């Protein structure tokens, strides 16, 4: 019983298979530096998508991604470090005896991190999202700082400022790209459902959305909690990629990367977010050049010092907001039809 497959679905499945195959092959071929950047691209995609769900598709304004990432990363660090290696991190204060006995596989720790992040989002979102106006930005910014300070001080659980070492390093591109593709598929399914339409209605005009029977609190909370879940998963992968998790990795400035990505890619575009994640992640690597001292003809150019990268970065963000508000994709999605329209005369392969 062969049903005729919709060519669009076929193309999409082919693209997914191709991506995974490429990740699998490149994983064995590339040097560890390049692999690390490509893995970071995929992880940044997951986290940026989670932010875009709230900011781009639902029209709220959250700045909490670094906090939710921290929750996910710590969940991975606490539960996946092999029990016998834990004392080498927790040498000042021993690990909480209950936690010290639990070791989980990465997948379980990731999901747990996502669920914890979602729980935090529920607790923040419930009071804040009842208010009209953009209190969410302030609350989430506050949350991501509070969570970091909390993690700095919960010595027996997080090992405080020293961080947790020996997180089993994750460098398998296939797994990370699989996580990215699953995130894309799940968010696509959500956003193309009636709930996704409700989110967009709230983005367009929340008063009208409510007048059409869409409960604001319920739908905003749903979007925010799902977003936190994926940010938690992304944070867990990030922690595993780093191999060491400490509070300084999760300064709220980390969130700005994702804001830049979704603005560049297009608020309300999944494919735009993917494209922008790769551009920004590679861009940030190349911008490292600004952070190291520069000598020209024996003269030290004064501005090239650590921190300049962030200045350049901020200027880029401003330029983007001023001159390029819709980003690469606006609210549209990349589609195979679009490619076809770009090359109108090209004959399609009959194979």
Partner 1 sequence: MILRTEDLTMQFGGVTAVDAFNLRVPEGEIISIIGPNGAGKTTVFNMITGTYAPTKGKIFFGDKDITAKNPSQITKAGIARTFQNIRLFKDLTVFENVIIAKHLHLKSNWLQSMFRISGLPSWLSPYPAEEQRFQEETEELLEKLELSDQKDAVSSSLPYGRQRRLEIARALATQPKLLLLDEPAAGMNPQETQELSSFIERLRGEFNLTILLIEHHMDLVMDISKHIYVMEFGLNIAEGAPTEIQENPKVIEAYLGSDD
Query: Cα–Cα distance between 195 and 13 in angstroms, integer?
Result: 24
Query: Cα–Cα distance between 53 and 49 in angstroms, integer?
Result: 6
The reply to whether 12 sits near partner 1 by the rule CB under 8 A is: no
Residue from 99, 111, 216, 320 binding partner 1 (CB under 8 A)? 216
Q: How far is the CB of 1 from partner 1 (least distance, A)?
A: 12
The reply to whether 200 sits near partner 1 by the rule CB under 8 A is: yes
Q: How far is the CB of 140 from partner 1 (least distance, A)?
A: 21
Residues with Cβ within 8 Å of 343's Cβ and at least 6 positions away in sequence, in order, are none
Query: Cα–Cα distance between 163 and 346 in angstroms, integer?
Result: 56
Q: Which is nearer to partner 1, 211 or 342 (CB)?
A: 211
The reply to whether 36 sits near partner 1 by the rule CB under 8 A is: no
Residue from 38, 63, 176, 214 binding partner 1 (CB under 8 A)? 214
| Residue 112 DSSP SS3 | helix
> Apex CA 83: angle with CA 81 and CA 85, to 5°?
70
Residue owning tokens 């304004």: 61
Residue from 41, 198, 262, 263 binding partner 1 (CB under 8 A)? 198
**H or E stretch including 141?**
helix 135-153
The reply to whether 194 sits near partner 1 by the rule CB under 8 A is: yes
Q: How far is the CB of 16 from partner 1 (least distance, A)?
A: 18
Q: Which is nearer to partner 1, 207 or 321 (CB)?
A: 207
Q: How far is the CB of 133 from partner 1 (least distance, A)?
A: 16
Q: Which is nearer to partner 1, 213 or 302 (CB)?
A: 213
The reply to whether 49 sits near partner 1 by the rule CB under 8 A is: no
The reply to whether 193 sits near partner 1 by the rule CB under 8 A is: yes
Query: Cα–Cα distance between 11 and 62 in angstroms, integer?
Result: 34
The reply to whether 350 sits near partner 1 by the rule CB under 8 A is: no
- Structural tokens at position 322: 């001023």
Buried b (16+ CB within 10 A) or exposed e, 65-89: bbbbbbbbbbbbbbbbbeeeebeeb
**Using CB under 8 A, which of the segments 69-77, 200-208, 258-266, 340-348 binds partner 1?**
200-208
Contact 158, 78 (CB under 8 A): yes
Query: Cα–Cα distance between 256 and 245 in angstroms, integer?
Result: 20
Q: Which is nearer to partner 1, 62 or 223 (CB)?
A: 223
Residue owning tokens 């969410």: 136
Residues with Cβ within 8 Å of 177's Cβ and at least 6 positions away in sequence, in order, are 19, 20, 23, 42
The reply to whether 197 sits near partner 1 by the rule CB under 8 A is: yes
Residue from 182, 207, 301, 311 binding partner 1 (CB under 8 A)? 207
The reply to whether 337 sits near partner 1 by the rule CB under 8 A is: no
Q: How far is the CB of 200 from partner 1 (least distance, A)?
A: 7
The reply to whether 190 sits near partner 1 by the rule CB under 8 A is: yes
User: How many chain residues touch partner 1 (CB under 8 A)?
Assistant: 24
Residue from 92, 123, 131, 212 binding partner 1 (CB under 8 A)? 212
Residue from 222, 245, 276, 280 binding partner 1 (CB under 8 A)? 222
Query: Cα–Cα distance between 200 and 219 in angstroms, integer?
Result: 10
Among 51, 39, 38, 100, CA closest to 239 = 39
User: Under the rule (CB under 8 A), what is the footprint of partner 1?
Assistant: 186, 189-190, 193-195, 197-198, 200-201, 204-205, 207-216, 222, 331
């Amino acid at each position: 019983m062969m049903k005729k497959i919709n060519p669009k679905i076929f193309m999409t499945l082919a693209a997914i298979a191709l991506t995974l195959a490429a990740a699998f092959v490149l994983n064995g071929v590339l040097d560890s530096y390049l692999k690390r950047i490509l893995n970071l691209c995929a992880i940044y995609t997951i986290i940026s998508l989670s932010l875009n769900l709230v900011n781009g598709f639902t029209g709220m304004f959250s700045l909490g991604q670094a906090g939710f990432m921290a929750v996910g990363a710590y969940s991975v660090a606490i539960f996946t470090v092999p029990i016998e290696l834990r004392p080498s991190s927790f040498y000042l204060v021993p690990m909480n005896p209950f936690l010290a006995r639990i070791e989980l596989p990465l997948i379980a720790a990731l999901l747990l991190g996502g669920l914890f992040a979602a729980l935090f989002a529920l607790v923040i979102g419930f009071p804040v999202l009842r208010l009209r106006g953009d209190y969410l930005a302030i609350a989430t910014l506050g949350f991501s700082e509070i969570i970091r300070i909390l993690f700095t001080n919960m010595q027996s659980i997080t090992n405080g400022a020293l961080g947790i070492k020996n997180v089993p390093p994750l460098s398998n591109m296939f797994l990370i790209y699989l996580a990215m593709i699953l995130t894309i598929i799940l968010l696509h399914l959500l956003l193309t459902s009636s709930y996704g339409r409700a989110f967009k209605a709230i983005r367009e005009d929340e008063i009208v959305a409510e007048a059409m029977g869409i409960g604001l609190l319920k739908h905003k909370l749903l979007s925010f909690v799902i977003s936190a879940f994926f940010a938690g998963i992304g944070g867990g992968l990030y922690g595993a990629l780093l191999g060491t998790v400490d509070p300084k990795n999760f300064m709220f400035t980390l969130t700005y990367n994702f804001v830049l990505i979704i603005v560049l890619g297009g608020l309300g575009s999944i494919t735009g977010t993917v494209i922008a994640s790769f551009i920004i992640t590679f861009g940030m690597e190349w911008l490292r050049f600004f952070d190291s001292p520069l000598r020209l003809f024996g003269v030290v150019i004064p501005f090239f010092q650590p921190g300049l990268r962030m200045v350049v970065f901020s200027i880029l963000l401003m330029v983007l907001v001023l001159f390029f508000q819709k980003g690469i994709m606006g609210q549209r999605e990349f589609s195979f039809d679009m490619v076809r329209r770009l090359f109108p005369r090209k004959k399609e392969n009959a194979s």
